[in-house]
Structure 1
Amino acid sequence: MNTPKMLWTGRVMTGLFALFMLGASISPKLLGMPVAEETMAQLGWPAGYAVAIGLIELACLVLYLIPRTSVFGAVLMMGLLGGAMATQVRAESPLFSHILFSLYLGLFMWGGLWLRDVRLRQLFPVVREPALSKRT
């Protein structure tokens, strides 16, 4: 069942995820901002990789936002976020604020998709246990 409340909550979560990815991740890399290259260097990535990673992020985001390819885009984006998490682990970054941030983003992304896509909810249903009857 796809209630309007679930659908709109999923759309809002998807929109917020997309805005975050565009503003905080993709834009600095694709616009060639110095902060993107500096951050990549601090994490141990060679110069010039920021634009390539930004293009990959943008492609994954576009696939995620198209309803027909949203699950494929989410899987690819999760792979990208896993790579970001591995980079943070290798750089010995703080656990909850840096390393797990990709996990937080991924959960938010999948949550938005789960709420707006009936097929995904059928694949991963939330099962409620029946109420226990009183024993007399």
Structure 2
Amino acid sequence: MISHPALWAGRVMSGLAILFLLFDGTIKLVPLDIVIATSKEMGLPATDSFARFLGVVTLACTALYAWPRTALLGAVLLTGLFGGAIGTHLKLDSPLFSHTLFGLNLGILMWGGVWVRDPRVRRVMPSIA
């Protein structure tokens, strides 16, 4: 059984990840000019349709993560999305801490939140402490 403060800490961690991902997915749906320009700089297709596709994928995975019954599936799918972003930044030799490792940091926040919130995840990935 997890303590009440720990449960709320997990909810806050997950909430922060969800808020960022909602913002990220939404600006890709519009898509803002900065999204298209950044896609072009990163060697990705610089089209509205590609940006919208990434936005839909991000928002769908985030919705799965936000819903408690499908949070584990959403976390796995988002991990793949973050891995692709990290790989792209590695390929472009982007700054390590501000760009390349951002996906890792977001993934740690996301998995930490779901680990605290969901006893199923704690059974599969027990604490080392």
User: TM-score by structure 1 length?
Assistant: 0.89
Is 1:34–2:33 an aligned residue pair?
Answer: yes
Kindly, what percent of the aligned residue pairs are identical? 46
For residues 32 and 95 of structure 1, the distance between their equivalents in structure 2, rounded to whole angstroms, comes to: 26
SS of the equivalent of 2:63 reads helix
Which structure has the highest helix share of the two?
2
The structural deviation recorded for 1:44 is 0.6
Highest Rg: 1 or 2?
1
User: TM-score by structure 2 length?
Assistant: 0.94
- Identify the range of structure 1 (4-13 vs 118-127) with the bigger mean alpha-carbon deviation: 118-127
SS of the equivalent of 1:46 reads coil
2:104 counterpart residue number: 103
For residues 99 and 77 of structure 1, the distance between their equivalents in structure 2, rounded to whole angstroms, comes to: 16
The structural deviation recorded for 1:42 is 0.7
Runs of 4+ in 1 over 2 A off after TM superposition: none
Structure 2's unaligned 5+ residue stretches are none
Matches within 5 A, 1:47-62: 47-48=46-47, 49-62=50-63
1:14 counterpart residue number: 14
For residues 123 and 41 of structure 1, the distance between their equivalents in structure 2, rounded to whole angstroms, comes to: 40
The alignment of Structure 1 onto Structure 2 pairs a total of residues equal to: 127
SS of the equivalent of 1:2 reads coil
The structural deviation recorded for 1:30 is 0.6
